[in-house]
Amino acid sequence: MKLIANRNLFQSNEEFLKQISRNINYLEGIMIEVTLTQDGVPVIIIPYDSTTLSAQAIKNIQTTNFSNIKNYDLITLDSFLKSLGAINNKIIINFVPIPTTQYAQNLEIINQINKQQVVNLYSVINQYPTLNIYLSSISHTIIRQIKQVNTNNKVGVILSPYETNYIDVDFYIFSPEMLSYSILKQQLEFNKEAMVSSRGCEEMMIIYNFFNNFSSEETNEIFHSISFISDYPLIIYKLFN
């Protein structure tokens, strides 16, 4: 079972780094959420949850210079990657872009903003060429910008029921609600990587029940081909073993 660890809602960045260090040999990789401060510093944010880090809190981070942010447990992407050392595991950076809806009628400004966001992100990533960094986002616009400048990093999309257009990327991240046996199988046949992300026990059970709906022969092929992203990787491992 291929496991990718995400920071849970009760961990500090320091605790998450310690967890990674203890379990690095058992993990396929880790996943982090990154956004930019107002002055363009890529920082790691706690995974989004309506009860903890609200959309307003993300906005506060995105509209404040890094040196002035006091109320959040933030670490720069640069510091985090440096702390990992020379690991070979996958490092999935899920980029949460600064919204551009206020410029909805001006595509030129939107493109400029998105391009600069990607430039700022790569200003850090390019310092770690030996790390196995994957890049993802829910935003198709950002993904297209990343693909324009990207050379070595694999690029993926977080599938959303609110975005029905197809985008060709290297890997796809499914939420439990987006799971589809036929789509998973199809993407694997296309030599795409597939991942399933879950937060908390309820979403783990959705994934567990999904795989139990099919015969073992059908699920084994997919089960051992995809990766499971979880804020509690040990629990999801025990659930299936």
At residue 98, what is the residue type? Answer: I
Sign of the torsion formed by the C-alpha atoms of 232, 42, 167 and 152? negative
User: Going by DSSP bridges, is the β-strand pair 75-76/42-45 parallel, antiparallel, or unpaired?
Assistant: antiparallel
Maximum distance among all Cα pairs of the chain, rounded to whole angstroms: 55
Question: pLDDT of the chain along its 241 residues, tens only?
Answer: 899 999 887 788 888 899 898 988 999 999 999 999 999 999 998 755 544 456 777 888 888 999 998 877 789 999 999 999 889 999 999 998 877 666 666 677 777 888 888 999 999 999 999 999 999 999 898 999 898 886 689 999 998 877 777 899 999 999 898 888 888 989 999 999 999 999 888 899 999 998 887 767 777 888 889 999 998 988 999 988 8
Number of domains into which the chain is organized: 1
Domain that holds residue 90: 2-240
In angstroms, the CA 211 to CA 192 distance is 20
- Check which CATH number belongs to the domain holding 59 and give it: 3.20.20.190
H or E element in which residue 164 lies: none
Instruction: Calculate ∠ Cα 185-190-193, nearest 5°.
Output: 75
Global pTM value: 0.90
